[in-house]
């Protein structure tokens, strides 16, 4: 039985005082809960947040990283730098990176390899636009993103990767796939992993839902057999909206 995994992606929000206060609140509210929890603050607050959550049941994530090692890459942050300040996981391929910053599957694949080489775990994000869903190619789009994103990844490396299905049309819009719609895509994703890596790997990999999960819909979404948690955006920015989701995941 797969345990649940709830990850909070703070995106480009917070100031330092707010980030520290939220981290402190979550350390207290999530204490004793039985699931995997991760928060991903903006780069500039990673170190100060880590000083608060270290030793708790919350791990530190980063929202992105460079596809290269340390060197002459102005403005970039390497996996080694993230690892050095307590980061254990990095979110890669988020739709906002794909569509705002024009990252393609080839670049995302390079980042995944670099993250794993740096000793970081990965949450690989995949998902379709509303236009893809309208014409019925959601599962095909997700399969392409999985196959291209995981190109060259070994069976052993896959054990350090989770997948987050995030329908782009549901991110930050308040719209959410129905539990059955989300389950159908999650089952398809697991089938793709089975075809590439085998049934055992498919059974073990965690697949998170990342489309406007919140306290009012989390229980029903998390009850689906192939939904192993959530990649949470807006609802992760307050203790009293993130904690209920984590409690549902801990049941």
- Spatial separation of the C-alpha atoms in residues 158 and 197, rounded to whole Å: 9
- Spatial separation of the C-alpha atoms in residues 169 and 182, rounded to whole Å: 13
Domains of the chain: which residue ranges? 5-249
Helix (H) or strand (E) holding 38: strand 36-40
- Spatial separation of the C-alpha atoms in residues 99 and 38, rounded to whole Å: 24
Which of the residues are catalytic?
94, 166
Please, which pLDDT band fits residue 171 given cuts at 50, 70 and 90?
A: confident
Residue 112 has pLDDT above 80, yes or no: yes
Q: Which positions ≥6 away from 15 have C-beta within 8 Å?
A: none
Structure confidence by residue, pLDDT tens digits, 68-83? 999 999 999 999 999 9
Average pLDDT over residues 1-9: 95
Q: In 3D, which of 55, 8, 63, 46 has the Cα closest to residue 27?
A: 55
Please, which pLDDT band fits residue 170 given cuts at 50, 70 and 90?
A: confident
The CATH architecture assigned to 5-249 reads Alpha-Beta Barrel (3.20)
What's the pLDDT at 212? Answer: 86
Percent of all residues in the chain with a pLDDT value above 70, rounded to a whole number: 100
């Amino acid at each position: 039985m797969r345990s649940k995994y709830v990850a909070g992606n703070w995106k480009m929000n917070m100031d330092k005082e707010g980030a520290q206060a939220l981290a402190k609140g979550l350390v207290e509210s999530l204490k004793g809960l039985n699931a995997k929890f991760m928060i991903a603050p903006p780069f500039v607050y990673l170190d100060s947040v880590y000083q608060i959550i270290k030793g708790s049941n919350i791990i530190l994530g980063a929202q992105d990283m460079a596809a290269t090692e340390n060197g002459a890459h102005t403005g970039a942050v390497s996996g080694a730098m993230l690892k050095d300040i307590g980061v254990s996981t990095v979110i890669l391929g988020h739709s906002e990176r794909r569509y705002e910053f024009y990252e393609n599957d080839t670049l995302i694949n390079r980042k995944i390899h670099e993250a794993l080489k740096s000793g970081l775990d990965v949450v690989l994000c995949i998902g379709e636009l509303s236009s893809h869903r309208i014409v019925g190619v959601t599962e095909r789009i997700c399969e392409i993103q999985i196959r291209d994103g995981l190109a060259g990844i070994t069976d052993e490396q896959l054990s350090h990767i989770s997948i987050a299905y995030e329908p782009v049309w549901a991110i930050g819009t308040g719209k959410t796939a129905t539990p059955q719609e989300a389950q159908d895509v999650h089952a398809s994703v697991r089938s793709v992993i089975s075809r590439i890596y085998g049934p055992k790997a498919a059974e073990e990999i965690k697949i998170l839902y990342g489309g406007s999960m919140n306290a009012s819909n989390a229980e029903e979404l998390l009850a689906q057999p192939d939904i192993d948690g959530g990649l949470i955006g807006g609802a992760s920015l307050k203790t009293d909206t993130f904690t209920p989701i984590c409690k549902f995941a801990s049941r």
